[in-house]
Structure 1
C-alpha cells in the first residue's frame, strides 16, 4: 500500500508508526517545514517533502507515484490544505481519509474564563476592546501572530513558538522583541502555563481549539487558577468534508483503510 500523507502534526507521526506496524505501507509524508519532515523521517516515513505544495503539485505527485490512498493529518486549523485535499480526492476518485483529532471535552472543566471567536482577526479586536491592559500570551503559532498585533501592541505581546528560522523571521517582521519570544518544545503542562502567566504578568491567553493533544485543557486550567482570560479560536468548518471521511483515532483509521 502506497500512502500519500499530508502531515506536519504529532498525529501524523503516530499515524506513520501505526501504518508501519500494522500494514505493508510505503509512506510519503509532506510537511511545510524541514523540522516537520525530520520528525516524519524519524517516525519511519520512507520519503518526505518539506515545503508547501500547490494543488496541481499534489495531484501530479499522487498520480506519478501511483499512490493508493490520501491521508490528511494536517492541523485542524489548516483549512485550506484540507479543502484542497478533499477536492483532489473527488477529482481523482481516490480513497481519502481525514484524520482529525477530536474536539476538546470540556464537560468537567471550568470554562468561565473562555471567550470564543471565529478568527484571529476577531481575537485581536476582542482583546483591543475588552482587555486593553496587561500582557498577552500567544499560544497559537507564529503564522497567526500578524492578525493579533494589528490590534494589540507588540510591547505586551508574548508568543510561544518553535525556535525555527521561519518563525523567528515572522517575529522580526512584526518587530517583536526577542526577549518576548517563548521557546516551545511541545504541549506545556498546567504548571508550566501557570509559570508563564506569572513570569509575564499575563492577563490573556490566546489559543486554538486544537484538541487535547494540543494542550488546550492545561491552558484553560492554568488560566482558571490565575484568573486569566482565554480567547479561543474555534475550528474552521470545511464545507466539502463529509462525516464519513473523518476518523478520530488509529483504530478507526485501520478500519477505514480496510474498508476500501
Structure 2
C-alpha cells in the first residue's frame, strides 16, 4: 500500500516505524524542514519531501503516484495543513486518517500558574498588560514569535528554537539578539526547564497545549517550582475534521489500517 504521510512531528516518526515494522507499505513523508525529513528518513520513510506544499502540489503527488491513503500527523497547531488535508481527501474521495495526540492530562498537576489564551496575539497582549517585568521564555517555536514581539521588547525575549537556517532568519528579522536564542534538541526534561528559567531569569513562559509528547507537564512543573507564570495557548478547533477520522494512539491507528491491509 502507498501512504502519503504529512509529518514533521514525533508522532509521525513513531507512525513510520510502526507501519514499516507491521505492514507492507511504501511511505512518502512530507515535512516543512530538512531536519524533519532527516528524522523521517532515519525512522524508515521510503522517501521524503522537505518543504511546505501547496494544496495543488499534494493533489498532484497523490494522483501522479497513485497514493491510496492520506495520513495527517502534523502538529496540533498546524491547523491550516489539517484543513487542507481534509479538503483534499474529500475532493479525491480517498481514505484519510488524522493522528491527533491526546491533550495533556493535568488532573494531578498544580495549574495555578497557568493563564489560558486562544492565540499568540492574545498571549502577547496578556504579557504586555500583566507581566511587564522580567524575561520571557518562549517555548512555542519560531513561527509564533512575531505575534509576541509585536507587544513586548525583544530585549526581554528568549526563544527556544531549532537552530536551522529558517528559524535563525526569523530571529534576525525580528531583531532578536543571537545571545537570546536557545538551541532546541527535542522536549526538555523537568531539570532542563528549571535550568533555563534560572539561567534566563524568566518571569513568564509561553507554551502551546501540545500534549505530553511535547513536554508540557515538565514545563508546568518547572514553572511551579520557580514561580514562573505560564501563558498557554489552547489548541485550535478544526471544524472540518470528522471525529470518525481521528485516532490518538497506535492501537487506534491499527484498527483503521486493518481495513486496508
Q: Normalising by the residue count of structure 1, what TM-score does the alignment of the two structures yield?
A: 0.99
- Correspondence list, 1:17-166, <5 A: 17-166=17-166
Distance in 2 (CA, whole Å) between partners of 1:82 and 1:100 is: 10
What corresponds to 1:3 in structure 2?
A: 3
TM superposition shift of 1:242 = 1.2
What corresponds to 1:172 in structure 2?
A: 172
Distance in 1 (CA, whole Å) between partners of 2:24 and 2:217 is: 36
Unaligned stretches of 5+ in structure 1? Answer: none
Task: Give the SS at the match of 1:27.
Answer: strand
How many pairs does the alignment contain?
260
Task: Give the SS at the match of 1:14.
Answer: helix
Task: Give the SS at the match of 1:103.
Answer: coil
Distance in 1 (CA, whole Å) between partners of 2:152 and 2:258 is: 49
Structure 1 residue runs of 4+, over 6 Å off? none
Q: Deviations over 1:85-115 (max 9, x none)?
A: 0000111111000001100000000000000
RMSD, aligned CA:
0.6
Unaligned stretches of 5+ in structure 2? Answer: none
Distance in 1 (CA, whole Å) between partners of 2:28 and 2:94 is: 16
Q: Normalising by the residue count of structure 2, what TM-score does the alignment of the two structures yield?
A: 0.99
- Correspondence list, 1:194-213, <5 A: 194-213=194-213
